[in-house]
Amino acid sequence: MTYLRQWLDPSFSQSGDFIPLSIAQQQQADQALQSTFITGSRVQRLQQIMNQCQDVINSCTFAGQTISSYECCQFVQLYSGTLKGICWIFDNPAMSQQDYDLSKGFQITFQVTRNSFYNSENVTVHPGIDIYLMNNSMDSTRFATEMASPITIKDKENVRAKIKKQYTSNLQLSHCGSSPSNAAEIDRQKSQSSTSLSLCLLTAAASECGCFPLWASFIPLNSQRYLTLSQQINQTTACSVTTYESCARKYMEYSQSNRWKEPPRPNSNAIFVNAVKNCRSQSHTPCQTTEYPAEIERNSMPREFQTSSDYVSRITVVYSSLEITNIAEERDPNFYYLLSYIGYNAALWFAIGHIIW
């Protein structure tokens, strides 16, 4: 199970509690999984062993009104591949907060039965669920590579996130215009006409490494625009953990926003260095990112949940302000802050980091 989690979630090996398998254990696990989840049908086979939505979401509440597990799950897109593993995406544009009222947030109660995660040898306590707050206008490839730090909810925790919205525009890039509104419009236009930086780097990784990362098989690519690439990903061998770590990881690191302007490491091989340079010149490096700074309050779940052996938790997400912060990074000066009040429908949209056990 350790290998399966690392195979699906490339961030797992970077966690503080990660204990790597021996080379022999990795080889044995990879042979077993590659033969079980064969090329061409691995996505469908893997989905069969993953939890379904109603196995995880107990109920939802919005503006004080409770929504059943079934109704809530109608707005969940299951199994989206990212650098943080396989996520679920909740997106319901009809749920919007129009007023400054901390009682009108969105709440999800999670419940996972003990039998679905308990293993007497290595998993006796559920590790928790990661929540990522994301911009719902992103395309799937940006979503896969631009996830910030999560809000992690442990068993029996009741978490409240009071959030704000913040745009950061990189006007130091010559193609991004001279204002945050220019940057946003350029990103919108390029998302429809240009290959994204992350997708270019993913393809370059496959070219050098001879495989695609497993999580890439779960990226919901536009079937009309990327039909050939989608077929290529699903018909190509998935990278083993060893190949990903030694070859593919460095490409995907440069698809993340903190590396967009960073030159490749001096000791990197020429193939990789040229691929990064070519992708930056031939594809679109995003001009604007969206963050949701959050003030987190943590409490215990109500008493009636405390005695359950199941994993039970709850998160409430609410806008604490309808002001949007625009941060523009310019050549001269380096940056400035523009705080503007915008009365708008603040759609609540976030991804659930899904852990498979």
Q: Is 273 exposed, middle or buried (0-12, 13-18, 19+ CB in 10 A)?
A: middle
DSSP code at position 240: P
Please give the mean pLDDT across all residues of the chain: 85
Inform me whether the pLDDT recorded for 2 exceeds 70.
yes
Count up the domains in the chain and report the number: 1
In this predicted structure, what is the pLDDT of residue 131?
Answer: 94
In this predicted structure, what is the pLDDT of residue 301?
Answer: 94
Place of tokens 């780097």: 201
Inform me whether the pLDDT recorded for 322 exceeds 90.
no
In this predicted structure, what is the pLDDT of residue 56?
Answer: 93
Rounded CA gap, 84 and 76, in Å? 18
Mean pLDDT throughout 269-273?
Answer: 92
Q: Which residue would you say has higher pLDDT here, 140 or 336?
A: 140
The parent domain of residue 221 ranges over 2-353
Strands 311-329 and 106-112: antiparallel
In this predicted structure, what is the pLDDT of residue 336?
Answer: 44
Which of 13-17, 43-47, 99-103, 189-193 is predicted least confidently? Answer: 99-103
Inform me whether the pLDDT recorded for 224 exceeds 80.
yes
Mean pLDDT throughout 161-190?
Answer: 92
The confidence band for 332, taking pLDDT boundaries of 50, 70 and 90, is low
Q: Which two tokens stand for residue 145?
A: 């590579």
Q: Which residue would you say has higher pLDDT here, 177 or 336?
A: 177
Q: What residue spans of 22-101 are helical by DSSP H?
A: 23-36, 42-49, 69-73
Over residues 64-123, the pLDDT tens digits come to 889 999 999 999 999 999 999 999 999 887 777 776 666 678 999 999 998 877 665 666
Instruction: Name which of 139, 134, 126, 148 is nearest 312 in CA terms.
Output: 126
Inform me whether the pLDDT recorded for 124 exceeds 80.
no
Tally the C-alpha atoms within 13 A of residue 70's C-alpha that lie toward its C-beta: 0
Q: Which two tokens stand for residue 106?
A: 């969105």
Other beta carbons less than 10 A from residue 135's beta carbon: 17
Inform me whether the pLDDT recorded for 162 exceeds 70.
yes
What are the angstrom distances between the C-alpha of 225 and each of 111, 139, 192, 272, 281? 38, 12, 9, 26, 21
In this predicted structure, what is the pLDDT of residue 252?
Answer: 95
What does 183-232 look like in DSSP terms, one character per residue? HHHHHHHHHHHS-BHHHHHHHHHHHHHSSB-GGGGG----TTTSHHHHHH
Inform me whether the pLDDT recorded for 311 exceeds 80.
yes
